[in-house]
A and B are shown apart, each in its own frame.
Chain A
């Protein structure tokens, strides 16, 4: 699997993401500028975190209109993998590649803190190196991570098993107290219908090394680059 990272102006997590991808894949990802439209030869497109276009209008709204996103949409329609983290998740919802939207955190505060999230299923290309129900310690750093979708969409996501991660406490239990940004049904990440597109607010790419706080995020990348899973 060959990976590429899309760079929008204002993105600032691309280096961390590149490190995580390189550690799992054994080779550096291609860097794709937002004006590029040729993604040939790439299997995984990653939209990293940051503040694309200064969060003008709405987080991710401007990036969703950039030239590269037409190619990313075509890549997704061909069944290619697309991973969006933080601002990347916001871009994916703005581009219509994932349902719903990310609202201002219910607390109105930018939250830069550790969070715990629960792996909802481990039979996906992104999560098969985890156990179902496993609790991961990851970091979150966002002002607009409050996942919203209408009730019918939330029911469909749940019914189709497309909730990838939920905020939870250290024991894996979901509660209002363990839902830092007020997300609907404590949703931290969701999958597309074909489970090839994943968007999540926390940063697995920042937990790949014991020197920087833990390694719970590494298995997500190892899952992607593993040959196959049962």
Chain B
């Protein structure tokens, strides 16, 4: 199964990279850009064939390595 783990900085955690990109977008003429947050996406191909089991593995991976839950939140989705 393909498991996608999306990791984002938690609300309230400074994201200077996102802020700089937001500033650059404004300079390019994109009006009305509010907050910009930058995270990362980890795409995993797992041998597991059961969707719920694959999601559980992804959650475990996110908790133990892929995200630092002090500063980041994560979301795990399973693709067929």
Tell me how many residues of B have a C-beta within 8 Å of chain A: 10
In the complex, which of the residues A65, A103, A106 contacts B65, with contact meaning CB atoms closer than 8 Å? A65
Q: Which residue of A lies closest to B70 (CB)?
A: A101
With A108-B16, A108-B17, A182-B14 as known contacts, state yes or no: A61 contacts B70, CB within 8 Å.
Answer: no
Q: Is the CB of B13 within 8 A of A103?
A: yes
User: B53-74 CB contact bits vs A (8 Å, 1 = yes)?
Assistant: 0000000000001101011000
Beta-carbon contact of A61 and B14 below 8 Å: no
Q: Interface 1/0s, chain A 51-75, versus B by CB < 8 A? A: 0000001100100010000000000
Cα A25 to Cα B67 in complex, Å, equals 39
Interchain CB contact under 8 A, B70 and A104: no
Query: Is B66 a contact of A148 with CB atoms below 8 Å?
Result: no
Q: How far is B17's CA from A107's CA once the two chains are assembled, in angstroms?
A: 9
Contact A57 B65 (CB under 8 A): yes
Partner of B70, one of A65, A93, A106, A108: A93
What total of A-B pairs shows CB separation below 8 Å? 34
Are the C-beta atoms of A104 and B17 separated by less than 8 Å?
Answer: yes
Q: How far is the CA of A61 from the CA of B14 in the complex (A)?
A: 19
Assess the A101–B16 pair: CB atoms within 8 A: no
In the complex, A146 Cα to B15 Cα: how many Å? 11
Complex Cα distance, B71 from A186, in Å, reads 18
- On chain A, the residues within 8 Å of B20 by CB distance are 108
CB distance from B41 to the nearest CB of A (A): 13
B66 touches A106 (CB 8 A): no
Report if A214 contacts B (CB, 8 A). no
A94 surroundings in chain B (CB, below 8 A)? 68
B66 touching A57, Cβ below 8 Å: yes
Alpha-carbon distance A146/B66, docked complex (angstroms): 20
Shortest distance from the beta carbon of B12 to any chain A beta carbon, whole Å = 8
Cα-based distance from A104 to B39 in the complex (angstroms): 13
Q: Which of A75-109 contact B (CB under 8 A)?
A: 93-94, 99-101, 103-108
Taking a contact as CB atoms under 8 Å apart, the answer to whether A146 and B70 are in contact is: no
Which of A61, A65, A108 sits near B68, CB closer than 8 Å? A61
User: Considering the chains assembled together, what is the distance between the CA atoms of A107 and B65 in angstroms?
Assistant: 27
Query: Other than the known A103-B71, A106-B16, A182-B14, what 8 A-B pairs have Cβ atoms closer than 8 Å?
Result: A94-B68, A99-B70, A101-B70, A103-B13, A148-B13, A148-B14, A148-B70, A149-B70
Binding site for B on A (CB under 8 A): 57-58, 61, 65, 93-94, 99-101, 103-108, 146, 148-150, 182
Chain B interface residues (CB < 8 Å from chain A): 13-14, 16-17, 20, 65-66, 68, 70-71
Sample of 26 A–B contacts (CB below 8 Å): A57-B65, A57-B66, A58-B68, A61-B65, A61-B68, A65-B65, A93-B70, A94-B68, A99-B70, A100-B70, A101-B68, A101-B70, A101-B71, A103-B14, A104-B16, A105-B16, A106-B16, A107-B16, A108-B16, A108-B20, A148-B13, A148-B14, A148-B71, A150-B70, A182-B14, A182-B16
